Amino acid sequence: MPLLRVNNMTHYFGGLRAVYHFNLSIEQGEIRGLIGPNGAGKTTIFNLITGIHRPTEGTVELENENLVGLQPHQIAARGLGRTFQNLLLWRHMNVREHVKMAHYSQLTYGLMGALFGTPRRHREERQVAENTMRLLEMFDVAKYADWLVANLPYGAQRRVEMARAMATNPKILFLDEPTAGMTPEELVQMIGIIRQVQKEFGVAIFLIEHRLKFVMELCQRIQTLVFGEIIAEGTPGEIQNNPKVIEAYLGKEDIT
């Protein structure tokens, strides 16, 4: 049974057709890629699956459970973690608080615990603190733990965002251009981190990227999106040689 299945998803923003008959099937632990020119609708597809918009047509199922119509935080709690293209961080919170916050749905102490400091709240917050430290160390940002995120170098901010997404205990991790703006060294580090995350947590990964070398190296299957429609789907080798893809998209210098 596929972990995530999207069937014939179509979405209109008013009169503009943004996505047309998008199909997706991700298995446990798979690493999938989505490439395409800017403005093709890749981030829109992320937003549709994670619940920010409700698709005009089509179904989205996670382990056979329907996701369409649920609030984004409910979908996230069911196991869809994500990072953002433009790094949506919380200006006034430090790194530790970012990762702690993502544990929100796993807390059971409720308002009573929050207002009156019950033993259950102290116990749960201690557990969250431990898990947070583990994640920070895994993503190599432990030394920044009490820094405000705004003061971190860019690469570290991206890793904090990933650590935060992993704190939600996802079954699938959606990465929106995880290497944008990174140096070649950080790129190599990111490949290592993604592989380690997939191995240790067993998460499936669905990523949007422009750097083709990165996508070819990591992903088992890749989809190519142009003007909201999939024009090709296959293994990295198949995509590289697909004439439609070459015609519509390839021509971008990949940076080594």
Partner 1 sequence: MEAIDLQTQPRPPIKARLSALFSKIPMLGWLAGILCTVLVEYLLGDWLSYILYLPKIPVLFGCLIMLKQPILIPSVLAYVALVYAVPIIGVGRLTAGFTNRLAARLDQWPIWISALIHLSLLYLALHYWTDISDYRLLVLKLTMIAVMLTLSINVINGYMGEFSCSHPGFMALGAYAASTITLVFFANDRLFGDALLPPALGPFFFPLALIIGGLVAAVGALVVAIPSFRTRGDYLAIISLAFMFIVKSLVENIEWLGGPRGMGSQPNWSTLPVVFVWMVLCIWVINNFVRSILGKALNAVRDNETAADAMTVNTRKTKITAFMLGAFWAGVAGGLFAHVMRFINPGTFSIQRLAEILAMVYFGGLNSVVGSIVGAVSINLISEMLRPLEIYKWIVIPLILILVMIFRPPGLIAFREFDIKKILAPKKNR
Chain positions contacting partner 1, by CB under 8 A? 50-52, 71-73, 76-77, 81-82, 84, 88-93, 97, 100-107, 109-111, 113-117, 121, 125, 128, 164-165, 167-168
Q: What is the DSSP string of 41-92?
A: SHHHHHHHHTTSS--SEEEEEETTEE-TT--HHHHHHTTEEE--TT----TT
Closer Cβ to partner 1, 52 or 255, answer by number? 52
For residue 155, the Cα-to-chain-centroid distance in whole angstroms is: 16
Cβ-based nearer residue to partner 1, 107 or 255: 107
Least distance in angstroms from the C-beta of 83 to partner 1: 9
Q: Please, are residues 140 and 132 in contact by the beta-carbon 8 Å criterion? A: no
Determine how many CB atoms are found less than 10 A away from the CB of residue 6: 22
Q: What is the DSSP string of 168-198?
A: T--SEEEEESTTTT--HHHHHHHHHHHHHHH
Report in angstroms how near the CB of residue 221 gets to partner 1 at its nearest: 24
CA distances from 15 to 12, 55, 148 (A): 6, 14, 42
Q: Which is nearer to partner 1, 177 or 187 (CB)?
A: 177
Q: Give the distance from CA 10 to its chain's centroid.
A: 21
The smaller minimum CB distance to partner 1, of residues 14 and 91, is found at 91
| Cβ proximity to partner 1, 8 vs 74, nearer residue | 74
Shortest separation between residue 165's beta carbon and partner 1, angstroms: 8
Select 34 or 70, whichever has its Cβ closest to partner 1: 70
Spatial CB neighbours of 78, under 8 Å, sequence gap ≥ 6? 62, 65, 67, 70
CA angle 148, 151, 155 (to 5 degrees): 110
Task: Give the nearest distance from C-beta 174 to partner 1 in angstroms.
Answer: 9
